[in-house]
Structure 1
């Protein structure tokens, strides 16, 4: 079975992003996946696409959740992949 890839789009000075990082760390204790954290300020394309949405959780190219990130939603999405 192919391991899922989870991207977390964030930016500095973002309290919701810090919370999302904690949620992802907790989910990693229960489920294996490839994790990449991407700062949207490093790409004009990401800033334009996600600027008002961050943090954004994307799993295998599909946006799962943005803004308020919760453990249950992320874990459930990973388990369905």
Structure 2
């Protein structure tokens, strides 16, 4: 099966910022799994407590889970650009995630 070019034209990337022993992060992963079944996206997970994630630790150490939602063509996540991301924090529903994905997928955005 070939993927539609339109699917990738506005495909979303969701980055989950997490840490070990985070029960809210487990819930967030379940929500994202539900969303993915309805509206596939590129997924990346970043453990903010790892040494190579120091910039993210400074931002989100006490706020996980956090998700950033962006167009896939916007490049890699960088801490200094976090203010520009569509974000959800702590507790969120599949509907809230899909609303943010719709904002990102809008060709006008």
* CA–CA distance in structure 2, aligned partners of residues 46 and 64 of structure 1: 14
1:44-70 Cα offsets, whole Å, 9 max, x none, are: 111111112110010116142101122
TM-score (norm 1): 0.91
The equivalent of 1:54 in structure 2 is: 64
Map 1:1-81 to 2 at 5 A: 1-42=9-50, 43-60=53-70, 62-81=85-104
Deviation >2 Å, runs of 4+:
none
Give the distance between the partners of 2:36 and 2:63, measured in 1 at CA: 23
- Give the Cα separation in 2 of the matches to 1:71 and 1:12: 22
- Rg: which structure is higher? 2
Distance 1:77 1:63, change over 3 A: closer
TM-score, scaled relative to structure 2:
0.69
Number of paired residues? 81
Query: Which has the larger share of strand?
Result: 1
